[in-house]
């Protein structure tokens, strides 16, 4: 049976991997909407390849180029944030939400309002707007399927189990490229060193988040909203090989773990095919070649990000959104050479201490908190 599919963020890593999977079985998918931030030529080529009905660039300045590239085709072109949200209201059996940052919140909420399935790869949706979005999911009956490898692993391990039987959810973390560095070495880490992830091929921002462990802190907040077992039952374990993507321990002592290659096609395929399975073309695990799997406790003295994220999740309300916004500003400043690596966590903690707005009750209020938190963090960098 052919299923309709919309991909928000089609030219990014998650979107590209999704389309690679669609290419493996073109007859199974009817692509409706493809979007990109500004890559008009690439987006137009993809829209024509997959016969999309609509192509949208978030940056409206690139809309003329998109229209020119689609000239002569029947594919509709649109641009701007409102156009993204309108595109998400178009019916689709599955929407892949892969727009990075708060720019993706509007389309995610619009897709949820349709009550359909949303494959969620946008961290900010549940970190900054978790309470607002989970309430919308409950109200509309939409299905949220987690794309992040860790949350997808938990989702798979919970199938057939009951939340009340869960003793622990364990998020695994690679520890990033700077895992063994001393505090003195971390203070001198360069952007090039921080983005050199040993296992995953990711963008600069998320690679820095992995190096600081903020990525895992954000995932802890996401897991808290996706899997309501209580924050005290969600823990983090450093697993440098990135073979076990996460684990669930039940009250009878059984622990289920999801293992797989370090390839985002695996969790994306899990979402696309759910509740069934599909071929991905990924190489199978060769456990004898891997040899051994090791585990460590996270070091929150050298990497305080997970502590800060847990405290923000416990505080609830606007705190997770402030943490996320301040971290984005701090990471951008680090990549631009304005602050040192260890200043990222210091700046985020200072922002949390200085800015404590009321809990947002709507998406508009979430975006307002995000904007104000960014301004606070930016001013701290300027006056440092």
Q: What is the DSSP letter of 176?
A: -
pLDDT over threshold 80, residue 374: yes
Annotated domain spans of the chain: 3-146, 151-304, 317-384
CB 34 within 8 A of CB 88: no
Provide the 10 A C-beta neighbour count for residue 28. Answer: 15
In this prediction, residue 241 carries a pLDDT of: 93
What does the block give as tokens for 89? 């209201």
Please name the residues in contact with 78: beta carbons below 8 A apart, sequence gap of 6 or more. 54, 55, 56, 57, 63, 86, 87
User: Which of 101-115, 234-248, 331-345 shows the lowest mean pLDDT across its residues?
Assistant: 101-115
Average pLDDT value for residue range 26-48: 97
Q: Place 384 in a pLDDT band, splitting at 50, 70 and 90.
A: low
Tally of residues, the chain: 384
Q: Return the ∠ at Cα 99 (arms to 98 and 102), rounded to 5°.
A: 130
The half-sphere exposure of 253 on its side-chain side, counting CA atoms within 13 A, is: 0
pLDDT over threshold 70, residue 357: yes
Task: Outline where DSSP puts E strands in the chain.
Answer: 3-8, 29-36, 54-57, 76-79, 94-97, 117-120, 143-146, 166-173, 234-238, 244-250, 255-259
Q: Place 283 in a pLDDT band, splitting at 50, 70 and 90.
A: very high
**pTM summary value:** 0.93
For the residues of 130-175, what is the DSSP string, one character each? Answer: HHHHHHHHHHHT-EEEE-SHHHHHHHHHHTTS-GGGEEEEEEEE--
pLDDT over threshold 80, residue 200: no
CB 213 within 8 A of CB 179: no
CB 5 within 8 A of CB 96: yes
Mean pLDDT of the chain: 95
pLDDT over threshold 70, residue 346: yes
The half-sphere exposure of 212 on its side-chain side, counting CA atoms within 13 A, is: 33
Tell which CATH architecture fits domain 317-384: Orthogonal Bundle (1.10)
Q: What is the DSSP letter of 27?
A: G
> pLDDT tens digits, residue range 212-266?
999 999 999 999 999 999 999 999 999 999 999 999 999 999 999 999 998 999 9
Average pLDDT value for residue range 186-199: 93
- 3-146 and 317-384, same CATH topology: no
In this prediction, residue 222 carries a pLDDT of: 96
Q: What is the 3-state secondary structure (H, E, C) of 257-269?
A: EEECCCCCHHHHH
> pLDDT tens digits, residue range 57-91?
999 999 999 999 999 999 999 999 999 999 999 99
- Say which CATH superfamily domain 3-146 falls into: NAD(P)-binding Rossmann-like Domain (3.40.50.720)
In this prediction, residue 151 carries a pLDDT of: 97
Q: For tokens 């003195």, name the residue.
A: 184
């Amino acid at each position: 049976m052919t299923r309709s599919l919309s991909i928000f963020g089609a030219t990014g890593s998650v979107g590209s991997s999704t389309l690679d999977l669609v290419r493996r079985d073109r007859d199974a998918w009817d692509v409706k909407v493809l979007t990109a931030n500004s890559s008009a030529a690439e987006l137009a080529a993809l829209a024509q390849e997959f016969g999309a009905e609509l192509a949208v660039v978030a940056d409206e300045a690139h809309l003329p180029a998109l229209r020119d590239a689609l000239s002569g085709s029947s594919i509709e072109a649109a641009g701007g944030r409102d156009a993204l949200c309108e595109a998400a209201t178009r019916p689709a059996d599955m929407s892949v939400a892969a727009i990075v940052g708060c720019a993706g919140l509007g389309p995610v909420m619009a897709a949820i309002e349709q009550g359909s399935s949303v494959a969620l790869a946008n961290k900010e949706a549940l970190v900054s707007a978790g309470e607002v979005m989970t309430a919308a999911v409950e109200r509309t009956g939409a299905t949220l399927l987690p794309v992040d490898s860790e949350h997808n692993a938990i989702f798979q391990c919970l199938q057939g189990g009951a939340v009340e039987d869960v003793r622990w959810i364990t998020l695994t973390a690679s520890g990033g490229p700077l895992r063994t560095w001393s505090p003195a070495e971390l203070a001198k880490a360069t952007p090039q060193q921080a983005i050199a992830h040993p296992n995953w091929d990711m963008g600069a921002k998320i690679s820095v988040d992995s190096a600081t462990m903020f990525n895992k802190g954000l995932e802890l907040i996401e897991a808290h909203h996706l899997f309501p077992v209580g924050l005290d039952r969600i823990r983090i374990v450093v697993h440098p090989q990135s073979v076990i993507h996460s684990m669930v321990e039940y009250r009878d002592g059984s622990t289920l773990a999801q293992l797989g290659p370090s390839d985002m096609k695996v969790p994306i395929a899990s979402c696309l095919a759910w509740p069934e399975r599909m071929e991905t073309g990924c190489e199978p695990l060769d456990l004898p070649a891997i040899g051994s799997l090791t585990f460590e406790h996270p070091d929150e003295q050298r990497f305080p990000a997970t502590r800060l994220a847990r405290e923000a999740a416990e505080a609830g309300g606007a705190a997770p959104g402030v943490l996320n916004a301040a971290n984005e500003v701090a990471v951008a400043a680090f990549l631009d050479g304005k602050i040192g690596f260890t200043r990222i966590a210091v700046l985020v903690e200072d922002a949390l201490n200085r800015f404590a707005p009321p809990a947002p009750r709507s998406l508009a209020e979430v975006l307002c908190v995000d904007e104000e938190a960014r301004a606070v963090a930016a001013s701290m960098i300027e006056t440092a």
